[in-house]
């Protein structure tokens, strides 16, 4: 199938990936746009893993204020060089992450940061709930494990569906930015403030 400039343009608009990456993904998937999006998302996470060991000593602190000043977020997003830190796409990504945090109120960046006692407490609740089903113990364990996974996806920033595009997670969005800008990046920490409400920081 012939890969047209219009197809490449549409894929770039949907993913933010580079022109050559879009063209290669479309060739790989014989022009199927949806499959090409999946290829680029997978590549983004692969690039993220490949670059994960590289130091991120530069970056930006971005902010987002919402609801007439009732919710505010500060987030630190790191990268490798000052050049990328000043890049418009990188700055836009940091602002999008801050906006996502304001809307979704995660408790921490990743599951590694969830305190062990919290995990144990949640697991005990899910095990007790599973026991109420009367199913065999091995099934109960799987039910509890599934509920714990769901809990992580609700409270961990990287695992939450991105508010502007719920088809991808924040981690997948991060992977796409790593692939696009060619540097290791990380969401280091954030603080969320809410008047007369709950706030989270990590």
What is the residue-wise DSSP string for the chain?
Answer: ----HHHHHHHHHHH---HHHHHHHHHHTTT-HHHHHHHHHHHHHHHHHHHTTS---EEEEEEEEETTTTEEEEEEEEES-HHHHT-HHHHHHHHHHHHHHHHH--SBSSGGGS-HHHHHHHHHHHHHHHHTTT--HHHHHHHHHHHHHHHHHHHBGGGSEETTEEEEEHHHHHHHHHHHH-S--EEEEEEEEETTS---B-
**pLDDT value of position 52:** 63
Percent of the chain topping pLDDT 90: 52
**pLDDT value of position 3:** 87
Task: Give backbone dihedrals phi and psi of 35, rounded to 5 degrees, phi first.
Answer: -65, -35
pLDDT higher for 72 or 2?
72
How many Cα atoms within 13 Å fall on the side-chain side of residue 174? 25
Confidence of residue 138 (pLDDT cuts 50, 70, 90): confident
Condensed to tens digits (0 to 9), the pLDDT of residues 174-183 reads: 998 988 888 8
Average pLDDT rounded to a whole number, residues 28-52: 77
**pLDDT value of position 56:** 74
The pLDDT of residue 172 is above 70: yes
Confidence of residue 89 (pLDDT cuts 50, 70, 90): very high
Token reading at 107: 């408790």
Task: Give the chain's domains with CATH numbers.
Answer: 5-51 (1.10.8.10), 58-110+162-194 (3.30.479.20), 115-154 (1.10.286.20)
The pLDDT of residue 64 is above 60: yes
């Amino acid at each position: 199938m012939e890969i047209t400039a219009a197809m490449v343009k549409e894929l770039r608009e949907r993913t933010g990936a580079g022109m050559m990456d879009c063209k290669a993904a479309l060739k790989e998937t014989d022009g199927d746009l949806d499959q090409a999006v999946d290829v680029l998302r997978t590549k983004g996470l692969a690039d993220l893993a490949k670059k994960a060991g590289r130091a991120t000593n530069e970056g930006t602190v971005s902010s987002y204020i919402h609801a007439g000043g009732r919710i505010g977020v500060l987030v630190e997003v790191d990268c490798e060089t000052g050049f990328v830190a000043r890049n418009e796409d990188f700055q836009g990504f940091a602002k999008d992450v801050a906006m996502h945090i304001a809307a979704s109120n995660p408790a921490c960046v990743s599951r590694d940061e969830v305190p062990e006692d919290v995990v144990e407490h949640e697991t005990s609740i899910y095990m007790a709930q599973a026991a109420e089903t009367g199913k065999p113990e091995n099934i109960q364990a799987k039910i509890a494990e599934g509920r714990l996974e769901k809990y992580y996806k609700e409270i961990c920033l990287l695992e939450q569906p991105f508010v502007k595009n719920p088809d991808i997670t924040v981690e997948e969005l991060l992977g796409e930015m790593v692939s696009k800008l060619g540097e290791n990046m990380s969401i280091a920490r954030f603080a969320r403030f809410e008047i007369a409400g709950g706030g989270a920081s990590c």
